[in-house]
Chain A
């Protein structure tokens, strides 16, 4: 039996406190890229009771994604937006989801991110990461941006960090481990970075800021 919405929210109130939970429930977070970072971030935010997620990715689930991304073997070939929506609705049935199955470009970013309080950069391509970061920080001064750089390889878990670069810009990762040099993306280390991003988003929504 799936719990009622009232039972669901009551359980969240008990875990996070009513004041914080009401902030999470009324928030909208845009997750740009639904790979190793974005799919794990979305799951953490959905479980925590964030009210609305905007999920953006043009790609389909591939067999090479399954070692670190929140998809299932029977979802290979589906659009990530649709597959992740199914999985998130199973986890958190009352979450509000908006999906955009398209590439993020300089032209469509404002439209795709409309209504988001926080933008989560979760791409894999470094140039796409920089493009979104600059565009959001230059043209959307009301939004927070939580981005990631450096989580490839088998390096120490403890080198993944969260830093506040400007008042609205947080950066997670070790800052240097590039998949092109490390040659691998390991689920646990990518999930560490995703957890840093998800936790930063929840902290910002709760009104807790890094110094």
Chain B
């Protein structure tokens, strides 16, 4: 299982890009943390999610 924003999901084996494509996240508004490190945007399509990974997807809200 892969934990994303606190939710356990059965998506081990998918890449970050493949997972994001199943969501409503706007790729231009997000940053992705995986196991304590930021995932570079250029590596979303080659970063394969593994069993036990923990991710946080930060989706920025506008305003400031």
Q: Are A138 and B40 in contact (CB under 8 A)?
A: yes
Number of interface residues of A (CB under 8 A): 39
Q: Which of B30, B40, B62 has the most CB of A within 10 A?
A: B62
Alpha-carbon gap, A37 to B29, bound state (A): 19
Q: Are B41 and A134 in contact (CB under 8 A)?
A: yes
Interface check A49, CB cutoff 8 A: no
Alpha-carbon gap, A185 to B61, bound state (A): 12
Given contacts A138-B38, A138-B40, A138-B41, contact A185 B63 (CB under 8 A): yes
Closest to B43 in A: A138
Given contacts A165-B58, A166-B36, A169-B38, contact A134 B64 (CB under 8 A): no
Alpha-carbon gap, A93 to B61, bound state (A): 35
Interface check A192, CB cutoff 8 A: no
The distance from the CB of B63 to the nearest CB of chain A, in whole angstroms, is: 3
Interface check A51, CB cutoff 8 A: no
Alpha-carbon gap, A138 to B33, bound state (A): 11
Q: Are A130 and B64 in contact (CB under 8 A)?
A: no
Q: Are B64 and A151 in contact (CB under 8 A)?
A: yes
Alpha-carbon gap, A152 to B31, bound state (A): 20
Closest to B38 in A: A137
Q: Are B38 and A149 in contact (CB under 8 A)?
A: no
Alpha-carbon gap, A116 to B22, bound state (A): 38
Contacts of B40 in A (CB 8 A): 134, 138
Q: Are A38 and B31 in contact (CB under 8 A)?
A: no
Contact with A along B27-64 (1 / 0, CB 8 A): 01111010011101100000000000000101111111
Interface check A100, CB cutoff 8 A: no
Contacts of B29 in A (CB 8 A): 126-127, 129-130
Contacts of B56 in A (CB 8 A): 165
The stretch from A15-23, A80-88, A173-181 touching chain B is A173-181
Q: Are B33 and A133 in contact (CB under 8 A)?
A: no
Contacts of B30 in A (CB 8 A): 130
The distance from the CB of B59 to the nearest CB of chain A, in whole angstroms, is: 8
The distance from the CB of B29 to the nearest CB of chain A, in whole angstroms, is: 5
The distance from the CB of B37 to the nearest CB of chain A, in whole angstroms, is: 6
Chain B positions within 8 Å of A, measured between CB atoms, are: 26, 28-31, 33, 36-38, 40-41, 56, 58-64
| CB-defined A-B contacts under 8 Å, sample of 25 | A36-B64, A37-B64, A124-B64, A125-B62, A126-B61, A127-B29, A130-B29, A133-B58, A134-B40, A134-B41, A137-B31, A148-B64, A149-B59, A150-B61, A150-B63, A152-B61, A165-B58, A166-B36, A166-B37, A169-B31, A175-B61, A178-B62, A178-B63, A179-B61, A190-B64
